Amino acid sequence: MLWRAMNRSLELIRRTARAVLPDEVRRRLRYAARPLAPDLMASACAHSLVTPLNLHLLHELVQRLGRLGIEGDIVECGVYRGGSAAVLGSAMLGLGDECPRKLWLFDSFAGMPAAGEQDGEFSHTLKGTYVGSEQQTRQLLEQAGVPGGRFQIVTGFYADTLPTVEIPRIARCCTSTATSMSRTS
Ligand SMILES: C[S@@+](CC[C@H](N)C(=O)[O-])C[C@H]1O[C@@H](n2cnc3c(N)ncnc32)[C@H](O)[C@@H]1O
């Protein structure tokens, strides 16, 4: 598997770097790319529309927040069955508790809404597709070891839910929506 080979290479680079680099660089490497657990990756892939490579990139993007010292919560709009959410949650935990963050998950779990006038032909074929599952999402987050207090699932259409929550600071917001109704509502 490509991602197993990638994980092995990253581990080798990390070990070599630890052995030869000065203290300052080693400190920064504390947040260097850590591999995603293979069993979590397998479950995430089974419940995500996101490609394995892009799930790895999501994982890396969250770890980068630690490396760059960017504080704040992580938000995902478009959760579906929780595959990418579990990856985000796992990576968030890997950052440690120096900067306690929360994962905010927004979805109607009712699938894609109707496309708008600005949308292309393809978007108009999506209405009602990608119906997700809040329960499946909770299961994956549990498998990823994300404690209940570290994530919040906000169920409903963005237009209704986003104005109701106050997130003090957002470090990263991930959206995976394909229509203007999803993006702007
Ligand atoms: C492409 S899927 C998300 C993929 C997911 N991140 C994964 O890991 O596979 C899009 C999701 O966005 C949700 N969604 C789209 N537009 C929405 C809206 N306006 N309000 C709430 N949820 C919405 C759908 O219910 C669906 O679960």
Over the stretch 21-46, which tens digit does the pLDDT of each residue have?
766 666 566 655 667 899 999 999 99
Contact 140, 43 (CB under 8 A): yes
Among 54, 77, 153, which residue has the most ligand 1 atoms within 8 Å of its CB, making it the best to mutate? 77
Q: How would you classify the pairing of strands 73-77 and 151-155? A: unpaired
If one compares 160 and 181, the residue with the highest pLDDT of the two is 160
Domain ranges of the chain: 36-184
pTM: 0.84
What type of residue is 96?
G
Judged against a pLDDT cut of 60, whether residue 181 lies above it is answered with no
Q: What is the pLDDT of residue 185?
A: 41
Q: How is domain 36-184 classified at the architecture level of CATH?
A: 3-Layer(aba) Sandwich (3.40)
In tens, the pLDDT along 11-22 reads 888 778 777 776
Nearest protein Cα to ligand 1, atom 19: 182
Section 93-107 average pLDDT: 87
The two three-digit tokens of residue 145, written as one number? 């070891």
Q: Which residue has the tokens 């496309």?
A: 115
- pLDDT interval class at 6 (50, 70, 90): confident
97 pLDDT band (50/70/90 cuts)? Answer: low
Please name the residues in contact with 88: beta carbons below 8 A apart, sequence gap of 6 or more.
58, 59, 62, 74, 76, 103, 174
- H-helix or E-strand spanning residue 55: helix 52-68
Q: Which two tokens stand for residue 101?
A: 């963050």
